Structure formats: structure tokens, C-alpha cells
Amino acid sequence: MATLERARAAVPHVHEQLLDNGLRVLIQEMRTAPLASVWCWYRVGSKDETTGFTGISHWVEHMNFKGTTNIPRDKVKGIIEQFGGYWNGYTWIDQTTYTETASREALDRMLFIESERMARCLYDPADCESERTVIISELQGGENDPDTVLDQELTAVAFKAHPYRHPTIGWLSDLQTMTREDLYAYYRRYYVPNNATLVIVGDVDRDDAMQAVIRHFGTIPSVAVARRPLTAEPPQFGERRLTLSREGTTAYLKVGYRAPALGDPDFFPMLVLDAVLTGAKGLNLWASFRTPPPQRSARLYRALVNTGLASSVSGGLVPTAEPFLYTLSLTATDGTPLGRIEEALLREVDRVRADGVTPAELQKAVHQLRARLVFENDSISNIAHQLGYFATIADWRICGSLEERIGAVTLDQVAAAAAERLTAANRTIGWFEPLPPGSSDGTAVLG
Amino acid sequence: MTTARRGLAPVRAVLDNGAVVVAKQSRTTPAVTINAAVAAGTIYEPAGLDGIAHFVSRTIDRGTSSQSADAIAEALDGRGVSLSVAVNRHVLSLICTCLVEDVEPVLSLVADVVMNATCPDAEVRTRRAEIVTMIRQDEDNPAVVAVEHLLADLYGQTHGYGRRARGSVASVESIDRAALVRFHAARFSPRALSLVLVGDVAPDSAIAVATKAFGRWDAPAPPPVELPPPPSASGRRTRVIPMMNKAQVDVAYGFTSLRRSDAAYYAYWLMNNILGQYSLGGRLGDSIRERQGMAYYVFSSFDANVIPGPLMIRAGVSPANVDRAIASIDRELERLAADGPTEAELMESKQYLIGSMPRALETNAGIAAYLQTEEFFGLGLDYDLQVPGLLRAVTREDVHAAARQALRPSEATIVVAGPYAGHAR
């Protein structure tokens, strides 16, 4: 049996149960190490934020590490580390998630922490104030990186109306003015079992784990989540541009195309197209940053990096609930004008729009993506992440069909996706032009 | 061939040409991680050629005596393999993960790159421009600027531990193909190679594949390089590097620590965990992030190495909080040096470091990195079994002694980089 077929055959069974209070529970037994990984996912992210409250999802995530009714503030430190464990969380546009991975003996402790986090966080006013400055420090750390700033500005220009335009960290003035009551109300609104998915993967017994879940979560009441409809992004009728002029040493170019959501038939053809253009990244946000993509033979690497115009190129297409962006990011080689890089990039984009990709390119991209799926499933944390991630934005069962969906992509589909999606009217182009020391007025110029 | 009986139980073989191969079978995924380390790090750079080891790392897989850069790229990309080449002070590492069915051709390609790199002129020109760009980016990054200046101040700008790993624009522009080829010829040898293979391959098969790939390699053993001990600290020094275009200040605060072979290593490891690692940054995180809300990140790290490596405290703070953050670091160091850890802190850190080993050894890549460290420092094939006992044997007084010896604010070297024009002390 070929390796990929063996990998497919070895996919363990996922047990799903919906508790009476609406909590969706997914359990997968995996006995590769004496460990268990727990992830608790909430369908709330920066897309749920309104003007004046940007960054609130992320701030709430921070507050949910600050003690609960039954975990006093001074007992938080070490609560999972004493089991050799790791815990963390992240917030993004569609979701907020919390994770612990520790020895299998800690499963009950991990479930206790997550049940407390769902229902009984304290939001001590002093902790809210202290965390305000921590988050502003996080925002300022991001502002130190020109590429991060350009990404944030580009996203805000690419979306006029849809809340995907807000940075997850929030805008500074909102972080300065939100109150403890704002944070707590947001927490109570979204942190309810019927808005969550709990994932357990590892060296656990399925029935015992489910009993423990019911014990910890079963009595938490469900509460209807009042969601306002999201503002739909109106059609884009022409190319958008921005130039960011700030002191710096290096020039950056980003081009963001309106991209298909996960549920759109174009998503997987676009994923294959991205692999042809910049190398396959896979589909696991939690794992993909660890290993760069195989991209030396990718079209844009050859056209821009091997020619010496750019020192790096990358493509970003991630599964999202609603249409987000497919972003091409380039770093200009020292002294190369951004105009030359943009011209070379758009020439390659026009070429793939006109001619599509070759059968050999399709075959290579599909193989790269399939291999990436194998490499990504190398730990219980990564496997659990994927179940929860897809459950939150669509359906966890997609995890089991990713390889099939990738393999089913045809040349015509890739060509059609390129022709329809990579148009001038569908893109926003962002430049970061470095100014010499002392000359920055820090302004973004839209044009 | 030698093996350990329990735990990871890797198999180690020394080929006839002196190359070391360590193999560990793991069936978690149908994949294999290849981790090849060559003793060709930055400490081996000839005078005046700062950055040449890094330059080699950027060109080594861009053409061999029998394959072009494009052919190598196709061979790797076609198998979904991304070859990462990294360099630190001591070793240049080539690391990748491939499907198990591809292990033989991929290892053969890695071997070709290691043994027969030619660094073609055209590639050297292109990669030089990339490296210059990377250096310019580093110069615009307060975190990198702070750390690089701290190391230069602790060890001296010409010391192997104090030099910038990527060199300077001037040094990189002076490196040509001939210099790269000379460095490769001088430092790359089977006697300088440690190859670790972890994945769904039986150790015997892995060693056979490795022998086929590297067994016929013949090159003279590289000469040793003298690495002087770090200079002694002589009072507290603070350097401020204004970067007024930035939003946040990076603080790097440090000392030289101890050798990896020092008997006090385990006490230092625990001391560092208590000071700036445990949970959200240990005592430093409790004070500076959790209680005072001054920083998104603050932590300590230490690098016990062939000679005493750095013990470093890092924090990202707003310009208004620089002086307060440094004073808080001073206070936490003084407190740990004066009173030592509590029994509870010591117990928690021991539990954590011992208990986290299964996580560190869960993936093929994690195991491979661990086995490379084991090999580099000569820790033994059963080191993973020894670690719990070595940590449990450390007493509170051992950690207190380590803190007294290592944490001396009056001898600290401090670098502040970012939008700060004050006079931090």
C-alpha cells in the first residue's frame, strides 16, 4: 500500500456527541504518546466586533486566563504545568480557542479548567486594567514590524464594510476606552456551551472521557446567542491601492485578492493554485508556521526570488467562514524599486490567468498538499486543532475529506479560479516604502 | 553499533569514514525526519569573513557537482519536501521531513548537497543580495538589534559568540564564491557530520540508507578551532540604541553563564525556569506582565554551551516603562539571588521539566532535535532516561547557589533598543 493510502487507512475514528446544553464534543483516541490534548473552541472572533469595540474578542481571551470562581488567581500559575503541560489560546477573525496538552493523567484537570473558563471567569477590575496595557504592548510590538503593519492596512482597505477589516488585536483607541463591563458582557454573551466545540485527542478512553465531559460541562446552561447579521462586503469595482511611507530599511509589497470562503467551490482550486504559485502550505494554522513550504520550483519564487528582485515571496490562503483574502507578500531585495517587483508579479499573475497551470504543475501541487497533510498530523495537538478549527467555521468532517477534495481538483477548475479571482478589479495592492531616518510622517496614502 | 535499552532507545553507528548516524524508529506518521548537522557554525569563520557560515547555508543547496539548483528544487518540491538549512555558533543543520517511501532519494540528495556543493557564481550573487536584505531587516528590528548588541557586548565583536550570525553588509559583500568553496572544503567532512533519522523506518534500514548515501565520502578531518572563554564582567553596562521610528522598546539584559558540561548545569536549568520560564515567564512574568501589566512578553533563557553561553532576559515594553521594567528585573534577580527559590517553586519546576519530556519527544522533528543535542554534547544514548534523576537530585541550596553566582545586577550588561532616548541604567 502506498504511503498516502496507509495514512488514510490509519485515520482513527472520531466520536461526536452533542450534549443537551448544545456543547459539541469530539473525541479521538490516539495512543502514540502518553498525552492528551484538549481544545475548547468558541464561534466568536474579530468579525463579531462592532465599531468602538475592536479587539474585544482578543482581550476577552486574555482575561480568561485570570482566575475563576473555583481557580483563585494565585492558583492559575502552574495549574497545568505541574502535569508537564502546555496551555495557550488564540483569537482570530472567526474563532477563539483555548488549548492544553499534558500527560494523560491531567485530562480531568484540563476539562475542569475549560469548564471554569466557559462559565466562571472573574474579570477582576484590576486585572482588566493591567491587561489593557499588556495588550497595548502586544499591539506596539506588532507595529515594530513593517510587514505586520502593511498587512493590517491592506486588510482594512480591501474590506470597506465587512468586519474582517478590523485587526484582531483591535484599534488603539478602542483598547484605551473599553471597560470591564464591556468585556464581561461580551464574555457572557458568547461563552456558552451551545456556541462551543470541545475536542479531546490522545491517550484517553472515549467513554471515560465523555463521562468526565458531562460531569464538568453538563450543568452549564445554554443561552441563545444573539447574533446580528454581518455587514456583507459590497462588490469591488476596481483595483485599490495604498502606500505606507514610514522610516525603515526594507520595502514590502502585498497584493490581496478577495478569496473564496471554505465552503465556496473555488476554495480547493485556489489552494492548488497557491501551491503552484508559492508552494504548498497545507491547511493547519497551528502547524504551518513551523515549516516553510516547498517553493523553490514554484512560479513566483522562480520569477521573483531567483531573478533577484525579491528576497522572499509567500502566499496566504486560509480556510475561513466567509470570503477573506488570498495574499501574496514579497520583500524587495535591497535597492529594488517596488514598481519593478509589482510589474514582474502581475506579469506572472496575468500569465496564469490566461493559460492556467500545466498538468505537471497540478500533479506536483496535489502531491505537495497531500504530503503536507501527513506532516501536519504528527501530534495530537495538531490533529485536535484541525477538528476544532473546521467544526468552528464549517464541519469537522471536512478533516477526513481534505485529501479527496484536493485530489479532485481539475486543471479547468484551477484555470477558472485564476481567471475569475486574480483580476485587477478584485485586488488591493499595498506598498511599504521605507523612508530614511528622521523623515517619516507616519502616514498611509491611499490612491 | 550501540543502543540504549529503554526510553527513546536510539541506535547509533559510526561509519568507517567517521560519520555518526543515529536512528530512531517512530510509527506516528508514515514520514521520516532527516536532521544532518555539520560542525561548520559561525565559530569556524575565518577572520574578516563574518557571516560566511550563514552564506554557505544559503547556497549549499543551490547546485552540486552533478545537479543544478533547479534540479534540486524540482526533486525536493516534487516530493513535498522543504529543506531547511540553518546555522548557529557550532553547527550548520540541514533538516527536512519526507514521506517514508522517499527517504532514500531524499537522503541521497541531502548527502549530495552536503558533500558536493559547488555554490555557483550566479547563485552566490542572488543569495548575497538576499542576505544583504535580511541584514537590513535585522537592523530595523529592535529585538534583533538588542540581542545582537548584547552578545557583542558580552563576548566582544570578534568572538565566535559575539559576532552577528549573518555578518555585516560589508563582510557579506566581500565574500565570493572562492571563499565559500574554501570554507566548505575546510569544514565539511564525514568526521564533522552527525546524521539523525527519526521516523517509520527500522534503525537497521535507516543506517543502511545512511551508509549508502554518506559511506563513500572521504575528506580530511577539519582542524580544531580555539574558542577563548568569555571576558570577565567588569561592572554594569547599559547601551541605548535609539530607534525612534518604532512603537515598542526591546530590552536585552544578560550575563555569561556556564558550560553545558558543568556539574551545576541542572541547578541553572531549574533556576532559569523559576526565574523566567515557568508558566507565563516565571517570577519575571509574574512581576512585569501579570502584576504590573508592563509587557506582552518577558522571559529568561540560557544557553549552556561548549563555553559559557549567555543567560538572557528579554522584555518588550512601552517607552514610558523602560526604566521601571529594568528596575523590576533587577529586583527579581536580587530577590532570587538573596533568598533562593521556595521549596514549592523548585518542586513545580522539576515536575514541569520532567513532565514535559513526552511532549518534547512526541514528533519526529522533536525527537531528532533532542538526539542531535544528545550527540553534540556527548550525553549518552540513554540521556532521556537520566534527565529525571539528574533534575530530582538538585537541591534548593544548589539552585540558590546558581542564582547567587549567575544573577548579579551590578555586573549586568543591558541593551535598550527602540523609541527611547532616556538614560537607562
pLDDT in tens, A381-419: 999 999 999 999 999 999 999 999 999 999 999 999 999
Check residue A290 and give its pLDDT: 72
Span A183-214, pLDDT tens digits: 999 999 999 999 999 999 999 999 999 999 99
Span B121-135, pLDDT tens digits: 999 999 999 999 999
Q: Which domain holds residue B206?
A: 10-214
- Distance from C-alpha of A432 to C-alpha of B137, rounded to nearest angstrom: 13
Least Cα distance to A334 among A232, A228, A249 occurs for A249
Query: Which chain A residues contact residue B250 at CB under 8 A?
Result: 144
Q: How far is B115 from chain A (nearest CA, A)?
A: 21
Record: contact B81-A378, CB cut-off 8 A: no
Query: Which chain B residues contact residue A308 at CB under 8 A?
Result: 125-126, 129
Check if A360 contacts B (Cβ < 8 Å): no
Q: What is the mean pLDDT of residues B222-239?
A: 93
Record: contact B78-A297, CB cut-off 8 A: yes
Check residue B423 and give its pLDDT: 75
Given a contact cutoff of 8 angstroms between Cβ atoms, the answer to whether A84 and B349 are in contact is: no
Q: Which residue of A has its CA nearest to B288?
A: A134
Check residue B3 and give its pLDDT: 60
Query: Which chain B residues contact residue A145 at CB under 8 A?
Result: 141
Domain count, chain B: 2
Give the residue from B199, B214, B229 where a domain finishes: B214
Given a contact cutoff of 8 angstroms between Cβ atoms, the answer to whether B227 and B44 are in contact is: no
> How far is Cα of residue A53 from the mean position of the Cα atoms in its chain?
20
Least Cα distance to A375 among B82, B74, B195 occurs for B82
Using the predicted structure, report yes or no on whether residue A9 has a pLDDT greater than 60. Answer: no
CA atoms within 13 A on the CB side of B377: 17
Is the domain of B50 the same as that of B100?
yes
Element spanning A16, H or E: strand A14-18
Is the domain of B171 the same as that of B303?
no
Element spanning B35, H or E: strand B31-38
Is the domain of B282 the same as that of B399?
yes
Using the predicted structure, report yes or no on whether residue B300 has a pLDDT greater than 90. Answer: yes
Is the domain of B96 the same as that of B201?
yes
Q: Which residue of B has its CA nearest to A281?
A: B80
> Mutate which of B81, B94, B100, B279 to disrupt the A interface (most A C-beta within 10 Å)?
B279
Give the residue from B151, B179, B214 where a domain finishes: B214
Record: contact A35-B359, CB cut-off 8 A: yes
Could you tell me which residue, B118 or B421, shows the higher pLDDT?
B118
Domains in chain A, start-ordered, CATH in brackets? 14-217 (3.30.830.10), 240-446 (3.30.830.10)
- Among A residues 79-138, those touching chain B with beta carbons less than 8 Å apart: 81-86, 101-103, 129-138
> Mutate which of A1, A3, A135, A330 to disrupt the B interface (most B C-beta within 10 Å)?
A3
Query: Which chain B residues contact residue A305 at CB under 8 A?
Result: 126, 130
Is the domain of B86 the same as that of B14?
yes
Record: contact A246-B245, CB cut-off 8 A: yes
Check if A250 contacts B (Cβ < 8 Å): yes
Query: Which chain A residues contact residue B356 at CB under 8 A?
Result: 84-86
Query: Which chain B residues contact residue A385 at CB under 8 A?
Result: none
Check residue A443 and give its pLDDT: 43
Query: Which chain B residues contact residue A311 at CB under 8 A?
Result: 129-130, 133-134
Is the domain of B263 the same as that of B398?
yes
- Distance from C-alpha of B50 to C-alpha of B56, rounded to nearest angstrom: 12
Check residue A442 and give its pLDDT: 43
Q: Which residue of B has its CA nearest to A295?
A: B77
- Among A residues 6-45, those touching chain B with beta carbons less than 8 Å apart: 6-7, 10, 32-35
Check residue B425 and give its pLDDT: 72
Q: Which one of A131, A308, A371 has the shortest CB-CB distance to B293?
A: A131
Is the domain of B118 the same as that of B199?
yes
Is the domain of B108 the same as that of B242?
no
Is the domain of B150 the same as that of B279?
no
Check if A331 contacts B (Cβ < 8 Å): yes
Query: Which chain A residues contact residue B359 at CB under 8 A?
Result: 33, 35, 84-86, 101-102
Check if A371 contacts B (Cβ < 8 Å): yes
Could you tell me which residue, A443 or B170, shows the higher pLDDT?
B170
Q: What is the mean pLDDT of residues A229-253?
A: 95
Is the domain of B195 the same as that of B276?
no
| Residue percentage of chain B with pLDDT more than 90 | 95
Q: How far is B362 from chain A (nearest CA, A)?
A: 6
- Distance from C-alpha of A401 to C-alpha of A327, rounded to nearest angstrom: 25
Residue B162 three-state SS: coil
Q: Which one of B77, B136, B358 has the shortest CB-CB distance to A103?
A: B358
Neighbours of A257 (CB within 10 A): 20
| Residue percentage of chain B with pLDDT more than 70 | 99
Is the domain of B180 the same as that of B285?
no
Is the domain of B158 the same as that of B264?
no
Q: Which residue of A has its CA nearest to B32?
A: A375
Record: contact B82-A291, CB cut-off 8 A: yes
Q: Which residue of A has its CA nearest to B361?
A: A33
Q: Which positions ≥6 away from A416 have C-beta within 8 Å?
A: A266, A269
- Distance from C-alpha of A87 to C-alpha of A81, rounded to nearest angstrom: 8
Query: Which chain A residues contact residue B198 at CB under 8 A?
Result: none
Domain assignment of residue B424, yes or no? no
Check residue A289 and give its pLDDT: 66
Q: What is the mean pLDDT of residues B289-315?
A: 95
Using the predicted structure, report yes or no on whether residue B100 has a pLDDT greater than 90. Answer: yes
Record: contact A297-B133, CB cut-off 8 A: no
Q: What is the mean pLDDT of residues B16-27?
A: 97
Span A41-87, pLDDT tens digits: 999 999 999 999 999 999 999 999 999 999 998 889 899 999 999 99
User: Which residues is A39 bridged to in the sheet?
Assistant: A99, A199
Record: contact A440-B355, CB cut-off 8 A: no
Span B394-415, pLDDT tens digits: 999 999 999 999 999 999 999 9
Is the predicted ipTM greater than 0.90, yes or no? yes
Span A139-159, pLDDT tens digits: 999 999 999 999 999 999 999
State phi, psi for A260 to the nearest 5 degrees: -75, 145
Neighbours of A352 (CB within 10 A): 21
Q: Which one of A34, A250, A293 has the shortest CB-CB distance to B358?
A: A34
> Mutate which of B33, B127, B137, B287 to disrupt the A interface (most A C-beta within 10 Å)?
B137
Query: Which chain A residues contact residue B290 at CB under 8 A?
Result: 130
Position B2 confidence tier, pLDDT thresholds 50, 70, 90: low
Record: contact A334-B363, CB cut-off 8 A: no
Check if A407 contacts B (Cβ < 8 Å): no
Check residue A446 and give its pLDDT: 46
CATH code of the domain containing B299: 3.30.830.10
Strand order in the sheet with B31-38: B2-3, B11-14, B20-25, B193-199, B31-38, B92-99, B84-87
Span B311-358, pLDDT tens digits: 999 999 999 999 999 999 999 999 999 999 999 999 999 999 999 999
Domain assignment of residue B1, yes or no? no
Query: Which chain B residues contact residue A368 at CB under 8 A?
Result: 77, 80
